[in-house]
Amino acid sequence: MTASWNPITGETPIDISGLKVSGVTNRQELSVVEAENVRKAIVKYLGGSLTRRTAKFDLSWMLKLHHEMFGDVWEWAGQTRTSNLNLGSPWHQLSIQLQNLCDDLAYWKMNWRDTIEQAAHLHHRAVQIHPFPNGNGRWSRLLANMWLKLHKQPLTEWPEEVIGATSVIREEYLAAVRAADSGDYAPLIELHRRYMVVK
């Protein structure tokens, strides 16, 4: 059976080389095995208390987080890509860009009062850098939620379909990310606030 990977607007094209799971032949099957791997990381980091010891927000930890999210599925999980895509930073600048993001995050924490604004900027910059062959959106959204949790803020509970083909907010989400690309973070911050779960 041949694999069926019809492209979705706004998604990194899927290259199945490096896939560790046998028998996956289409996007839906891939989504299932990835979701289980991602769920383990979510439970680990969002299921209990979170400290800077477990969530260091430095370069090596950011790479480790991606590996924890996708390491059961992809051989390259946690490793920055080695070629350019039609989006994201040039591959040879990825480590520098990620380190700059870590440095900027420390600056934002010291100089911006609004943690949600910090999280939205973190989310966007991580997506914009696009350091991995795939999984960048889910990784960036988890990074943002971990930042919120670390600072005792409600989490943003994104509709699961945001990574699918027929999401009710997918177009709005992509438009918000594109607006942030141009320096207008208001739509992305508003989405974060709209889907926050206050318990």
Domain ranges of the chain: 27-197
Per-residue model confidence (pLDDT) at position 114: 96
Give residue 96's pLDDT band: very low, low, confident or very high (50, 70, 90). very high
Q: Which tokens go with 194?
A: 């709209």
Q: Does domain 27-197 have CATH number 1.10.3290.10?
A: yes
Please, which residues bridge with residue 4 across strands? 26
Cβ-based burial of 67 (10 A; exposed 0-12, middle 13-18, buried ≥19)? middle
Higher pLDDT, 161 or 101: 101
Task: Indicate whether 102 pLDDT > 80.
Answer: yes
- The residue type of 2 is T
Lowest mean pLDDT among 5-9, 59-63, 154-158, 170-174: 5-9
Lowest mean pLDDT among 17-26, 101-110, 186-195: 17-26
Q: How confident is the model at residue 198 (pLDDT cuts 50, 70, 90)?
A: confident
Of the candidates 143, 87, 93, the residue with the CA atom closest to the CA atom of residue 118: 143
Mean pLDDT in the chain?
91
**How confident is the model over 180-197, as a mean pLDDT?**
96
Model pLDDT for residues 129-169, shown as the tens digit of each residue: 999 999 999 999 999 999 999 999 999 998 864 444 456 78
| Model pLDDT for residues 111-122, shown as the tens digit of each residue | 999 999 999 999
Burial label, 123 (beta-carbon count in 10 A; 0-12, 13-18, 19+):
buried
Residue 155 has phi, psi (to 5 degrees) of -85, 155
